[in-house]
Structure 1
Amino acid sequence: MRTMLEQMVHLADRGPVALARIVDATGPGPREPGAAMVVTADGEVLGSLSGGCIEAAVVESAREVLANGHAVSDRFGYAEADGFAVGLTCGGEIEVFVERVDDTRLSVLSALRAAIAAGEPVALAATLAAVPDWKLLRLGDSEPWHGVDRDARALLAAGRSGVIGSDECETVQAPRPRVFVQTFAAPARMILAGANDFVRALARIGRQLGYRITVVDARETFATPARFPSAHEVVVDWPDRYLSAEHAAGRIDGRTVVCVLTHDTKFDVPMLVAALGIESIGFIGALGSRRTHSERVARLRTAGVTDDQLARVKSPLGLDLNAHTPDETAISIAAQILAERGGGSARPLALTDGPIHR
């Protein structure tokens, strides 16, 4: 949708168009959620949702939507390449939501275009209803919206698009309609210093959570893409030098997670000094026992780190799950990151009161 936003503003100002977007995808598929196609009243088609497998069916839905104004949701699954059924030959399944867009949406579309141009993280939320309700979301927003505003902002903070809420109708008991949140922001980053089994396990879980994973280690023998297949990038460099360069380039923000998992003071102390010197980093953690952390704190103080800065370091890293293996440890670390990011208590839900989704 980002690539055709300018055209949509121009077209919607002239007359209604049908906007078709992939809102959900399972398994292998040609496009990700948020991929869009626009159909005009005179039959012009902009963009695509697949390699041609489903476009004709979506165009037919778009004509109906333009005629009656009611949005529709179509789900396409696997279909044989030489068969008659409309579907995907890649084996996946997608849901396509088609809605009417006219000049009543211009203010939201224009604001979205301005935010993207300014480099501001922003998301467009739309209820998946016959008459969709739109909301432009920013990270600092706090205004309630259909009971899903918190979940929507969590997707925005992670740089992810997806469906939240349920298929149930809005009621007093469950005011959470099904909503598609399309995020226009780079994914949050997770920078992992080290090249060991703990890094490999955390990289895998971090990627599943939607983070862009960077593994950085100065040892060329260990820092290879083959050893860390879940990482988006594996960098051979001194971790502190890499982090400082990324900060200077403007690629570090309040959503960034930095975890030092090196078990080597010549790597972890300089890396923590560099990380603590960047106030915008959202989470800084360091793996190690209590004894290791106590010794590390002494070295950090010698390096000039203040008590206020030391308070930002999460170490020993992870929640108390009695974890032993790298995978178990990675789960405990990921759980702590989620709790910190979302303001959770990390206590068992059975021991808490009030709503589970706050």
Structure 2
Amino acid sequence: MRDLLGQVLELLPDQAVALARIIDRTGAGPRETGAAMVVTGDGRVLGSLSGGCVESAVLTTADQVLLDGQASLERFAAADQFTVGLPCGGEIEVFVERLDHTDLPVLLALHTALEVHHPVAYATTLEARPDRKLLRLGDCAPWRGLDHDAAALLAAGHNGLIGAQEWTPGLAERPRTFVQVFRSPARMILAGANDYTRALTVAAANLGYHVTVVDARETFTTPSRFPAADEVVVDWPHRYMEAEQSAGRIDERTVLCVLTHDPKFDVPLLATALRLPATAFIGALGSRRAHADRTARLREAGVPDTEIARVRSPLGLDVAANTPEETAISILAQILATRGNATAQPLADLDGPIHRRPD
């Protein structure tokens, strides 16, 4: 949608357009969620959803949406000889809506935010007459019971669906809504090339993190061992962390998990990370005995106790995790609880609403 926004803004003062976006994708697909196609009143097509697989069907829908103003939601699965679909075998959901001059204020605000590189989310209810909202970081203004869920997606830096699970036209509260986020995803840096790291890359990628695996041991640190990671880097972890900070790629959303079990890697990396001005979470895998030894070495390296206390170790929540996959869930649960300032207690033991509204 970002690439087409300027053209849409030029068209809307004079004519309505139909905007079609991929709002959900399962399996293989030609494009990611948020990919857009625009159909004008005089039949021009801008952009693409699938490289030609479903465009003809969406074009027909767009013509009807332009005619009656009623938005449409369609799902396309794998194609066969009788149906329009995706030859790659995946499945996509496409929302087609009508935009006209009344939508200019919110779209102009979106364009301005993108011009100055401000993180922003554009939320659209999947109703016959869609409601639209632009959300910025720190904006907690109530909006149809969806504002906190949308803010969580913006903080994480990835698109998503929130609200009711089924599309119910006219639903007043928490309608099913597509939130398109214009922000780089939050980073997770995993130091150490081992089985626990591999399991954590898979689980973290499912939460929308941009995952980097870094280790100085070239033999173990290969993309084939970590297919779910976005980056696999052969380097000393502390040196890599310093370079990323200098390049401005570490921020208050960055999560660091030290999984190396080796003081010659752990201590320099933690000493470096604890000096950084902003991180979301710093954790280190290992036993209580290992962490006591690590703490003593950090003190010898000149790291004050107040900073050492920021390291979550032993890492993870007490969920009787044993396998790498179970441990990954334990670690991610702790990260989620820390990020959301939650108790990490069983919901059955707590009072009040299940879905917390953060301050």
TM above 0.5, yes or no, is yes
Structure 2 residue 183 is the aligned partner of structure 1 residue 185: yes
Structure 2, unaligned runs of 5 or more: none
Alpha carbons of structure 1 residues 341 and 169: separation in structure 2 relative to 1, 3 Å: farther
Match of 1:70 in 2: 70
1:13 CA displacement? 2.5
Alpha carbons of structure 1 residues 223 and 181: separation in structure 2 relative to 1, 3 Å: same
Alpha carbons of structure 1 residues 169 and 348: separation in structure 2 relative to 1, 3 Å: farther
Please give the secondary structure, in 2, of the residue aligned with 1:199. Answer: helix
Match of 1:233 in 2: 231
Letter in 1 for 2:317: L
After superposition, residues 161-200 of structure 1 pair within 5 angstroms as: 161-166=159-164, 167=166, 168=168, 175-200=173-198
Letter in 2 for 1:98: V
After superposition, residues 119-268 of structure 1 pair within 5 angstroms as: 119-166=117-164, 167=166, 168=168, 175-268=173-266
Letter in 2 for 1:95: E
Tell me, yes or no, if the aligned pair for 1:49 and 1:55 is still in contact at 8 Å: yes
1:94 CA displacement? 1.4
Match of 2:44 in 1: 44
Tell me, yes or no, if the aligned pair for 1:162 and 1:180 is still in contact at 8 Å: yes
Match of 1:3 in 2: 3
Quote the Cα distance in structure 2 between the aligned partners of 1:14 and 1:265.
66
Alpha carbons of structure 1 residues 154 and 221: separation in structure 2 relative to 1, 3 Å: same
After superposition, residues 267-346 of structure 1 pair within 5 angstroms as: 267-346=265-344
Letter in 2 for 1:234: V
What is the CA deviation profile of residues 54-76 of structure 1, one whole-angstrom value per residue up to 9, with x for unaligned ones? 11111111111111112111122
Letter in 1 for 2:114: I
Q: What's the C-alpha RMSD, in Å, of the aligned pairs?
A: 1.5
1:209 CA displacement? 1.3
Letter in 1 for 2:266: D
1:308 CA displacement? 2.6
Please give the secondary structure, in 2, of the residue aligned with 1:98. Answer: strand
Match of 1:21 in 2: 21
Match of 1:108 in 2: 106
1:98 CA displacement? 0.7
Tell me, yes or no, if the aligned pair for 1:170 and 1:176 is still in contact at 8 Å: no
Quote the Cα distance in structure 2 between the aligned partners of 1:282 and 1:120.
20
Quote the Cα distance in structure 2 between the aligned partners of 1:229 and 1:61.
38
Tell me, yes or no, if the aligned pair for 1:154 and 1:342 is still in contact at 8 Å: no
Alpha carbons of structure 1 residues 249 and 140: separation in structure 2 relative to 1, 3 Å: same
Letter in 1 for 2:76: F
TM-score, length-scaled by structure 1: 0.95
1:341 CA displacement? 1.7
1:171 CA displacement? 6.7
1:259 CA displacement? 0.5
Q: How many residues align?
A: 354
Structure 2 residue 64 is the aligned partner of structure 1 residue 61: no
Quote the Cα distance in structure 2 between the aligned partners of 1:171 and 1:116.
31
Tell me, yes or no, if the aligned pair for 1:37 and 1:45 is still in contact at 8 Å: yes
Quote the Cα distance in structure 1 between the aligned partners of 2:171 and 2:36.
31
Quote the Cα distance in structure 1 between the aligned partners of 2:270 and 2:220.
21
TM-score, length-scaled by structure 2: 0.95
Tell me, yes or no, if the aligned pair for 1:239 and 1:267 is still in contact at 8 Å: yes
Structure 1, unaligned runs of 5 or more: none
Tell me, yes or no, if the aligned pair for 2:127 and 2:169 is still in contact at 8 Å: no
What is the CA deviation profile of residues 178-232 of structure 1, one whole-angstrom value per residue up to 9, with x for unaligned ones? 0000111111111001111111111111111111110111111111112222211
Match of 1:35 in 2: 35
Give percent identity, aligned residues only.
64
Quote the Cα distance in structure 1 between the aligned partners of 2:300 and 2:117.
39
After superposition, residues 72-87 of structure 1 pair within 5 angstroms as: 72-80=72-80, 83-87=81-85
1:84 CA displacement? 3.7
Moved more, 246-255 or 23-32: 23-32
1:88 CA displacement? 2.0
Match of 2:90 in 1: 92
Quote the Cα distance in structure 2 between the aligned partners of 1:176 and 1:76.
25
What is the CA deviation profile of residues 309-357 of structure 1, one whole-angstrom value per residue up to 9, with x for unaligned ones? 2232111110011222222111100111111122321111111111111
